[in-house]
Amino acid sequence: MLSGMGAVFRDYDNDGLPDVLVTQLPLQPYVVFHNDSRGVFSAQELEAGCGTRDGYGARVQVNGQVRFATATGSYLSSNDKRLHFGLGSAVTADVEIRWPSGIHQVLRGVKADQFLVVEESALP
């Protein structure tokens, strides 16, 4: 039986699939649940020009899925700052970002199965 204390969601092996690390009580070894499913993914890492450098607070929509940029997680845990999106069989994605600064940025036809670093546009 697992007595979990905190959970961290992070892509430990950089295969595009988020894995989970769980800490246990009382002072038991942590447990890693490796995600070995298959599928097409898109992962975005944000770099803001205004406000927080990591783009925390940005709203990102990829092919209809919405995530908010944050690293907050479970008790005493910080999640992967990259945003992961499952794309099913899609080979491209449309990425829409609403930055905390108010800038609205759209990227069309982004190739799937890649890690993409998106820098905040200087234009509103």
Alpha carbon distance 1, 18 (integer Å): 23
Q: What is the pLDDT of residues 3-61, one digit of tens each?
A: 777 888 888 888 888 899 988 877 788 889 998 887 777 777 887 776 567 888 899 99
Alpha carbon distance 96, 112 (integer Å): 15
User: What percentage of the chain exceeds 90 in pLDDT?
Assistant: 24
Q: Categorize the per-residue pLDDT at 124 as very low, low, confident or very high, splitting at 50, 70 and 90.
A: low
Alpha carbon distance 1, 5 (integer Å): 13
Alpha carbon distance 44, 99 (integer Å): 13
Q: The pTM is what?
A: 0.79
Q: Categorize the per-residue pLDDT at 106 as very low, low, confident or very high, splitting at 50, 70 and 90.
A: very high
Chain-centre distance for alpha carbon 85? 7
DSSP code of 81? S
